[in-house]
Amino acid sequence: MSEHFSHDVLVIGSGAAGLGLILRLDPSLRVAVIAKGLVDEGSSKYAQGGIAAVLDPADSVESHVQDTLTAGAGLCDPATVRFAAEHGAEQIRWLNDLGTPFSTANDSKLHLTREGGHSQRRVAHAADATGRATTQSMVDALKNRPNVELFENHIAVDLITANKLGHEPQRVLGAYILDRKADHIEVFHARCVVLATGGASKVYLYTTNPDVSTGDGIAMAWRAGCRVANMEFIQFHPTCLYHSQAKSFLVSEALRGEGAHLLLPDGSRFMHKFDSRAELASRDIVARALDHEMKRLGADCLYIDISFKDTDFITSHFPTIYQRCLEFGFDMTQQPLPVVPAAHYTCGGVMTDLHGHSDIDGLYAIGETAFTGLHGANRLASNSLLECLVFGEAAAKDINLTVKDRQLIEHIPDWDESRVTDSDEEVVVSHNWDELRRFMWDYVGIVRTDKRLQRALRRTDLLVREIEEYYSHFRISGDLIELRNLVQAATLIIRSAMLRQESRGLHYTLDYPEMNNTGVPENTILVPPNFNSQAKPSRPRLSPNNTV
């Protein structure tokens, strides 16, 4: 029999979005937190650059809005962008009150750095390990919240919704969760569920993300009946350290913000040929430029160089990167660092409004899991942690006001394992995982074509059938859950990319190399077969949409 747990709020994911929401929930609410590994093991922990916010008198909300809109290439929702920009400074103050050790300048004010795409210095940071510092301060604050129950080494299998149990109206009731250590599936009952599981960058062979970024929340929401939007826009970070042992280690955007040069193997600069802003161009432009030059030259990597700066400046501004690179034999104070682009951020996701509502009552999505309209066709650097905090707080406020109005359903059936057996072919899971990530990198990467996308879709269709057959016959494991979600996320990315017959932001296709400037830019919305059109939440006004 399954073990059953009951809470007011079930939060799946423990990155900046999930933690920020939990700490803003009413202390009287009973909260469960599901973490796939340890509580702090998510993408947020590895964020280096910082948090974009208007903190300098010379800066303005309007400037931050315009920079975000420019980066988003016409697909940002202006109301959402303004909402995020207007609430940025208060998030920094809140983190500061929690004890986050932000870097300061000589006058003891916050030191603000500038990153690609920003017209001002507005990125608050904790040296070059902002994600680690902010996550730690929030984890420490959780220790004073006796209403919060933490379930580490657990992974969500699927959401439990009313229509699955024959109830009306449609709403979320909880989730089935695998205890990875006990190898047993438990039932979590909740008045509302928050998806804060991050993005899906592990669908690609090369990524800056940790292993937990497998698109779980997006895939579960889609299966439950939620729409997803703009999944074609996958941001590739231009500068991931190129070394066989340097798994997922990115070299921060802030290096370019502080004047670092991107170099060809012969030591010459090249970014001025692609954009007037040179190294300070937005990530999509820089990543495509690196990809173009590497393919043109047949080079395995290119280089980023800040060694011409003072040694004390480099080691004080980038201590984490400096020490990590030394471990791999690179001294960034003396030599350029070898870098390659890598999948970094999922700009699309589960459609929500400004309070995190999805298409299903009681189900919220926040952070990288969600599509709010903030990022458009390309995320502006350091707007990610900002998004986590702003929308985590907004969702928490909404939950505080409404959660008691939702009934806690006690009668949910156990997970049924009566007709499955233990698998003797785990190699199928690892083989399919490797195949998926490789063809996604080759066919649905930085540069795409119709033919590549069609090839990729044929392969995901085969994998979906194979995985579902495996899923229905054998006891599930954490690896199988992640593979199932990755294949679903990959299918959504490919289908979205096939619908966008233009090049815009992060989506670049050789078949349609120009941006379509006729009419109002369209979002790409995918609608699941079990979507309930009567259950749509109110949403901020968006541009006309390309819907299938």
Give me Rg for the CA atoms of the chain: 22
Least confident of 73-82, 90-99, 280-289, 523-532: 280-289
370 versus 292: which is more confidently predicted?
370
Per DSSP, the residues of 275-303 read -TTGGGS-HHHHHHHHHHHHHHHT-S-EE
Q: For residue 232, which amino acid is it?
A: E
Q: What per-residue confidence (pLDDT) applies to 545?
A: 44
Residues 6+ apart with CB under 8 A from 159: 172, 174, 175, 193, 220, 221, 223, 224, 363
Q: What is the largest CA-CA distance in the chain?
A: 68
396 CB burial (10 A radius; 0-12, 13-18, 19+):
buried
Model confidence band, residue 418 (pLDDT cutoffs 50, 70, 90):
low
Q: What per-residue confidence (pLDDT) applies to 423?
A: 62
pLDDT in tens, 307-326: 999 999 999 999 999 999 99
Instruction: Please state, for a pLDDT cut of 70, what percent of the chain lies above it.
Output: 96
| Contact call for residues 192 and 9 (beta carbons, < 8 A) | yes
SS3 395: helix
CA–CA dist 283, 285 (Å, integer): 5
CA–CA dist 316, 310 (Å, integer): 10
**In the β-sheet with 51-52, what is the strand arrangement from edge to edge?**
51-52, 123-124, 112-113
When pLDDT is averaged across residues 265-287 and rounded to a whole number, the result is 92
Q: Which of 171, 283, 495, 504 is catalytic?
A: 283
**Please, what is the average pLDDT of the chain?**
91
Among residues 163, 166, 174, 65, the alpha carbon closest in space to that of 118 is found at: 65
Instruction: Please state, for a pLDDT cut of 90, what percent of the chain lies above it.
Output: 74
Residues 6+ apart with CB under 8 A from 471: 480, 484
Q: What per-residue confidence (pLDDT) applies to 250?
A: 84
- Structural domains in the chain, sorted by start: 4-46+127-233+347-405 (3.50.50.60), 236-343 (3.90.700.10), 427-517 (1.20.58.100)
388 versus 45: which is more confidently predicted?
388
Check the CA dihedral 312-313-314-317 and report its sign: positive
User: Helix 130-142 and helix 384-402: axis angle, to 10°?
Assistant: 20
Q: Annotated catalytic, 283?
A: yes
Residue 108 pLDDT greater than 90, yes or no: no
Q: How many residues does the chain have?
A: 548
Q: What per-residue confidence (pLDDT) applies to 102?
A: 94
Neighbour-count burial for 4-25, b at 16+ CB within 10 Å, e otherwise:
ebbbbbbbbbbbbbbbbbbbbb
When pLDDT is averaged across residues 66-90 and rounded to a whole number, the result is 96
Residue 470 pLDDT greater than 90, yes or no: no
| Contact call for residues 484 and 472 (beta carbons, < 8 A) | no
Residues 6+ apart with CB under 8 A from 535: 169, 170, 359, 360, 361
Q: What per-residue confidence (pLDDT) applies to 547?
A: 44
Tokens of 299: 């080079």
SS3 526: strand
Model confidence band, residue 211 (pLDDT cutoffs 50, 70, 90):
confident
